[in-house]
Structure 1
Amino acid sequence: MRTPIKVLIFSTIGLSLLAVLVPELQMLLALSWVGIKNYYYWQVLTYAFITPGSVSVGFFFQLGFNMYVLWMFGTSLLERTQAKLFLTLYLGAIILPGLSVLAIPNAVLAGSTTAVYAILVAWMMLNSGARLLLFFTIPFKAQWLVVGLIAFTLFVNISSHYWVGAISLTASILYSYLFTLIVWKQLGPFPILHPFERRFLSLFEKKVKQPKQRTKIFDIKSGSPVLNDDQFMDAMLEKISTRGKESLSPEEKKRMKEISERKK
C-alpha cells in the first residue's frame, strides 16, 4: 500500500473510531453551519475523515466500503500519476463539495463518500473499457458499474430528501470529471461525449511551442516560419492527438493530403 493511501485510510479509520468514543469530536469535525459561524473553518476538510453515526453494522459497513474503494482504486490511480496530483484530486473532492452544501441552511455533512466517489470517477475515465467482477463472479464493464452506483446513491439521497448528500455528491463527481479531463487530458468512456470533451479541452490547452526551425523562409502575411513537409506533418499529427481531427483547418487538411500524395 502506497504512503498517501496509508495516511488517508489510517487517519480516516482512527478519527472515525475516536469520534464514536468521544461524541463531542463529531461536533468539532463534522461540517455544519454552526461550526462555520463559530470559525471552525477546518470543518470544510475534516468532515471527510469521520464516519457519522454511532457504533453499528451500518457504521462499520460504510467505513469499510469507503476504505476498500480508496485502497483498491486509489492505489491504481497512484500507479499512473504523481502523489501530488492524486492528493489534489482527493482533497479537492472534499473541500469543493463541502463549500457547495453551505448554500443549504443548517447543513450538516460528514463522511468520506464525496472523496471516494471522486476516486471512482477518475479511475473509470483513466481505465476506459476495463471490466470489474460484479459480486466477485460476473464480469461487467467498469463504467456501467460506476455510473449505476452513482445513480443509485443519488436516487436514495433525492428520494429521502437528503439534499446535502445529493448536492455534495454531484459537486464531487463534476469536480473529478473536469479534473481528469483537464489535468490528465483523458476523455471519458462514453464516445458520445468525446466531441464536447475535445472542444472543452481545447479551451484549456496552451499553444504548443513550435521547435526552432532551420528554414529562413517566412510567410509574408503571418510572419511565422514556413514549415517543411516533415515538420508540418509532425505538427499536424501532434495537433490531432491532442485536439482531434476536427481541429484541423481546411488549409491544413489540404496540405496534408498533398504531402501524402507526393510521398506515394
Structure 2
Amino acid sequence: MRRRGSWDIGDAPGLGWLGMPTNAVRALLIVNAAVFILQTLVLLAGNLVRGDAAWHSLFDRVFGLSGGGLRSGMVWQLGTYMFLHSTNILHIIFNMLALWMFGREVEEWIGARRFLQLYFTGGLVGALCWLAFNWHGHAPLLGASAAVYAVCIAFATLVPERPITMLLFFIVPVTMKAKWWAWIAVALVAYASVVETGGNIAHLAHLGGVVVGYVFIKWLGWGESSRFVETLQAAARPVTRLLEERQRRKNMPPEEFISTQVDPILDKISREGIHSLTREERRILEQAQAKMKERGQEPPPSSAARR
C-alpha cells in the first residue's frame, strides 16, 4: 500500500535489479540510444566525406545547449541537449544504467506521467543552473546527467532505507542505505561545483537535478515531512485555488455563468462604479462577453442599462 507522509520499505515494489524497464524508462532508453547512434553516424560520415569532425561539431552546436545558441534563437536546445552525449561511450552507458536501475522503481511509485515530469524538469532546471554561469559561452552542454540525477535522488527520497550495493572502483562491493549514497553524491557534486571551474563536466547542471529530485517527491507529499516543501505548498495554494476556480467558470453554461458570476459584478458597478472592479472581476466580464459571442447573443447589459 502507498501512503503519504511515511514509507514502509516492505511496501516498495520489488522489481529487482534485473527486471525489465517500465514504459517511460524504456522509451527514454530507446530515444537516448537512437540519438547516440545518430551522433555516431554523423561523426563517421563526416570523417569519411570531409576527413574531420566538422559535421559532428555542427550537430552538437545545433542540438547541444549553449548560451550562444539560445541567444541565436535555438530555444529547442533546452530540450534536445539532454538526449545528446559525448562520443565517449561511457558517458551514455553510466547515465542509461542509472536510469534503468533507479528509474523503473520511481516510475512504479509515481506513474509514467509524473516520472516524465520529474525527468524533464530535472533536465530543464539543470540546464538553467548551468546557463546561469555559462550564458556567454559557446561550448555546448550535452547529456542526460541532470535528469538522471533527479531520478536517482527521487529514488533515495522515496525509499531512503533501501540497501544499495555499489562496486567501488568497479571492484569492491559496498552496501549502504540509499539515503547515504545520495548524501555522498550530493556532497561530491556540491564540492565539484565550487572547486572545479574548468573541464567539461557540468556539475552545476547535476546540482540542479539533485534539487529537483528531492523537491519533486516531497511536493507530491511522499517521504518524510519537509517544512521547506510544506511552506512552498502553502504559498502555492492561493494560486492553485484561483486556477481551479477559473477552470470551473470556463466550463459553466452561459446562463449559470451570468447569474452566478456576472450579475454580482454588474450590481457592484451600479453601486460603486466601474473603477471599483478588481482585475479578476474585469477578467470575468471579458470571459462573459466571449461566451455570449460564441452563442451569437448580446453581451450582458452594461451598468447604465441596469440603473
Q: What is the TM-score of this pair, normalised by structure 2?
A: 0.58
- CA positional deviation for 1:20: 3.4
The C-alpha deviation readout for 1:130-155, integer Å capped at 9, x for no partner, is 11113274321111112212322443
Which residue identity does 1:43 align to in structure 2?
A: Q
1:196 to 218, 227, 231: 227
Q: Is the 8 A contact 1:181 1:197 kept in 2?
A: no
How far apart, CA to CA, are the structure 2 residues paired with 1:122 and 1:153?
16
Larger Rg: 2
| Gap change, CA 1:198 and 1:32, over 3 Å in 2 | closer
Q: What is the TM-score of this pair, normalised by structure 1?
A: 0.66
SS of corresponding position for 1:132: strand
2:160 to 119, 123, 128: 128
Query: Which runs of structure 2 are paired with 1:43-62 in the superposition (5 Å)?
Result: 43-52=77-86, 54=87, 59-62=88-91
1:83 and 2:112 aligned: yes
How far apart, CA to CA, are the structure 2 residues paired with 1:100 and 1:159?
16
How far apart, CA to CA, are the structure 1 residues paired with 2:191 and 2:96?
23
- Count of aligned pairs: 196
In structure 1, the residue matched to 2:283 is none
In structure 2, the residue matched to 1:220 is none
SS of corresponding position for 1:139: strand
How far apart, CA to CA, are the structure 2 residues paired with 1:70 and 1:178?
19
Q: Is the 8 A contact 2:82 2:144 kept in 1?
A: yes
1:33 and 2:67 aligned: yes
Runs of 4+ in 1 over 6 A off after TM superposition: none
The C-alpha deviation readout for 1:69-89, integer Å capped at 9, x for no partner, is 101111011111221111100
1:63 to 86, 92, 95: 92
In structure 2, the residue matched to 1:144 is 180
How far apart, CA to CA, are the structure 2 residues paired with 1:199 and 1:78?
23
In structure 2, the residue matched to 1:117 is 149
Gaps of 5+ in 2: 1-20, 43-55, 239-307
| Gap change, CA 1:206 and 1:40, over 3 Å in 2 | closer
Tell me the percent identity.
22
How far apart, CA to CA, are the structure 2 residues paired with 1:195 and 1:79?
23
Gaps of 5+ in 1: 189-193, 208-264
In structure 1, the residue matched to 2:32 is 12
1:174 and 2:194 aligned: no
- CA positional deviation for 1:16: 2.1
1:186 to 219, 222, 226: 222
Query: With CA pairs under 8 Å and 6+ residues apart, which has the higher RCO, 1 or 2?
Result: 2
The C-alpha deviation readout for 1:108-142, integer Å capped at 9, x for no partner, is 31111100100011100100211111327432111
| Gap change, CA 1:115 and 1:198, over 3 Å in 2 | closer
| Gap change, CA 1:62 and 1:157, over 3 Å in 2 | farther
How far apart, CA to CA, are the structure 1 residues paired with 2:174 and 2:149?
22
- CA positional deviation for 1:17: 3.0
- CA positional deviation for 1:199: 4.8
| Gap change, CA 1:126 and 1:204, over 3 Å in 2 | farther
How far apart, CA to CA, are the structure 2 residues paired with 1:152 and 1:17?
31
In structure 1, the residue matched to 2:299 is none
In structure 2, the residue matched to 1:161 is 197
- CA positional deviation for 1:198: 7.0
